Amino acid sequence: MSWRELGELPLVVNTLTGTTFPRSWQDEENLGDRKVIECTNFDEWLELIAADRGVGAVPEIAARRVTHAHVRFIPIPDAPATTLHLAYLTESTGAMIDAFLDAASAAVSREQTAHGDGARA
Protein backbone atom coordinates (compact mmCIF):
# COMPACT_ATOMS: atom_id res chain seq x y z
CA MET A 1 0.00 0.00 0.00
CA SER A 2 1.25 3.46 -0.83
CA TRP A 3 0.73 6.69 1.11
CA ARG A 4 -1.42 7.99 -1.76
CA GLU A 5 -3.65 4.88 -1.68
CA LEU A 6 -4.10 5.29 2.07
CA GLY A 7 -5.24 8.84 1.42
CA GLU A 8 -8.21 7.56 -0.59
CA LEU A 9 -9.71 5.48 2.24
CA PRO A 10 -11.85 6.47 5.25
CA LEU A 11 -9.44 7.68 7.93
CA VAL A 12 -9.49 7.11 11.69
CA VAL A 13 -7.58 9.84 13.53
CA ASN A 14 -6.65 10.18 17.18
CA THR A 15 -7.11 13.93 17.63
CA LEU A 16 -5.45 14.04 21.04
CA THR A 17 -2.22 12.06 20.66
CA GLY A 18 -2.16 10.85 17.05
CA THR A 19 0.41 11.70 14.40
CA THR A 20 -1.81 11.44 11.31
CA PHE A 21 -4.43 13.99 10.25
CA PRO A 22 -6.48 14.58 7.09
CA ARG A 23 -4.05 17.39 6.22
CA SER A 24 -1.28 14.76 6.07
CA TRP A 25 -2.50 14.38 2.47
CA GLN A 26 -2.27 18.10 1.59
CA ASP A 27 -1.89 17.52 -2.12
CA GLU A 28 -4.96 15.31 -2.47
CA GLU A 29 -7.66 16.86 -4.65
CA ASN A 30 -10.75 15.63 -2.78
CA LEU A 31 -9.61 16.17 0.79
CA GLY A 32 -12.92 17.79 1.75
CA ASP A 33 -14.89 14.71 0.63
CA ARG A 34 -12.92 12.28 2.74
CA LYS A 35 -14.67 10.40 5.53
CA VAL A 36 -12.84 11.03 8.81
CA ILE A 37 -13.66 9.26 12.08
CA GLU A 38 -12.21 11.02 15.14
CA CYS A 39 -11.28 9.59 18.53
CA THR A 40 -9.18 10.78 21.46
CA ASN A 41 -6.96 7.84 22.45
CA PHE A 42 -4.96 5.00 20.94
CA ASP A 43 -7.15 2.17 22.25
CA GLU A 44 -10.27 3.70 20.72
CA TRP A 45 -8.35 4.31 17.47
CA LEU A 46 -7.36 0.64 17.35
CA GLU A 47 -10.90 -0.58 18.07
CA LEU A 48 -12.41 1.70 15.41
CA ILE A 49 -10.03 0.21 12.86
CA ALA A 50 -10.85 -3.31 14.11
CA ALA A 51 -14.55 -2.47 13.62
CA ASP A 52 -13.79 -1.59 9.95
CA ARG A 53 -14.67 2.08 10.36
CA GLY A 54 -11.53 3.17 8.50
CA VAL A 55 -7.75 2.91 8.29
CA GLY A 56 -4.98 4.73 10.10
CA ALA A 57 -1.24 5.22 10.16
CA VAL A 58 1.04 5.04 13.18
CA PRO A 59 4.78 5.26 13.76
CA GLU A 60 6.64 1.98 13.41
CA ILE A 61 7.18 1.72 17.17
CA ALA A 62 3.42 1.57 17.79
CA ALA A 63 3.01 -1.18 15.22
CA ARG A 64 5.75 -3.20 16.88
CA ARG A 65 4.35 -2.82 20.39
CA VAL A 66 0.67 -3.57 19.78
CA THR A 67 -1.18 -6.63 18.57
CA HIS A 68 -4.85 -6.99 17.81
CA ALA A 69 -6.56 -10.07 16.40
CA HIS A 70 -8.48 -7.99 13.83
CA VAL A 71 -5.90 -5.37 12.85
CA ARG A 72 -2.92 -5.85 10.57
CA PHE A 73 -0.06 -3.36 10.52
CA ILE A 74 1.70 -3.12 7.16
CA PRO A 75 4.66 -0.88 6.25
CA ILE A 76 4.02 2.16 4.07
CA PRO A 77 7.42 2.70 2.44
CA ASP A 78 6.63 6.12 0.98
CA ALA A 79 5.05 7.59 4.14
CA PRO A 80 6.38 11.03 5.06
CA ALA A 81 8.83 11.32 7.93
CA THR A 82 7.37 12.11 11.34
CA THR A 83 9.08 14.59 13.61
CA LEU A 84 9.59 13.32 17.13
CA HIS A 85 10.71 15.28 20.16
CA LEU A 86 12.51 13.94 23.20
CA ALA A 87 11.08 15.29 26.45
CA TYR A 88 12.49 15.01 29.94
CA LEU A 89 12.37 17.00 33.15
CA THR A 90 15.23 19.52 32.95
CA GLU A 91 15.75 19.44 36.71
CA SER A 92 16.53 15.73 36.46
CA THR A 93 20.24 15.10 36.37
CA GLY A 94 22.49 12.16 36.80
CA ALA A 95 24.10 9.28 35.02
CA MET A 96 20.83 7.66 33.90
CA ILE A 97 19.53 10.83 32.22
CA ASP A 98 22.91 11.39 30.57
CA ALA A 99 22.98 7.78 29.33
CA PHE A 100 19.42 8.12 28.01
CA LEU A 101 20.24 11.33 26.12
CA ASP A 102 23.41 9.78 24.70
CA ALA A 103 21.48 6.68 23.56
CA ALA A 104 18.76 8.81 21.95
CA SER A 105 21.35 10.93 20.13
CA ALA A 106 23.15 7.82 18.89
CA ALA A 107 19.86 6.32 17.64
CA VAL A 108 19.04 9.50 15.71
CA SER A 109 22.52 9.53 14.17
CA ARG A 110 22.13 5.89 13.08
CA GLU A 111 18.73 6.59 11.51
CA GLN A 112 20.00 9.69 9.72
CA THR A 113 22.85 7.66 8.27
CA ALA A 114 20.54 4.80 7.25
CA HIS A 115 17.95 7.06 5.60
CA GLY A 116 20.17 9.72 4.11
CA ASP A 117 19.46 13.06 5.74
CA GLY A 118 16.65 12.56 8.25
CA ALA A 119 15.31 10.09 10.75
CA ARG A 120 11.99 8.42 10.04
CA ALA A 121 9.49 7.32 12.64
**What's the pLDDT tens digit per position in 70-80?**
999 999 999 88
Q: Compute the distance between CA of residue 28 and CA of residue 14 in angstroms, rounded to an integer.
A: 20
Integer distance in angstroms from the first to the last C-alpha of the chain? Answer: 17
Show me where the domains of the chain are located.
Answer: 3-64, 84-120
Q: Compute the distance between CA of residue 2 and CA of residue 7 in angstroms, rounded to an integer.
A: 9
When pLDDT is cut at 50, 70 and 90, the band that residue 121 belongs to is very low
Spell out where the chain has E strands.
Answer: 11-14, 36-39
- What pTM was computed for the model? 0.68
| Amino acid 31: pLDDT | 56
**What's the pLDDT tens digit per position in 44-94?**
999 999 999 999 999 888 888 999 999 999 999 998 887 777 888 888 778
Which one, of 10, 20, 4, lies nearest residue 81 by Cα? Answer: 20
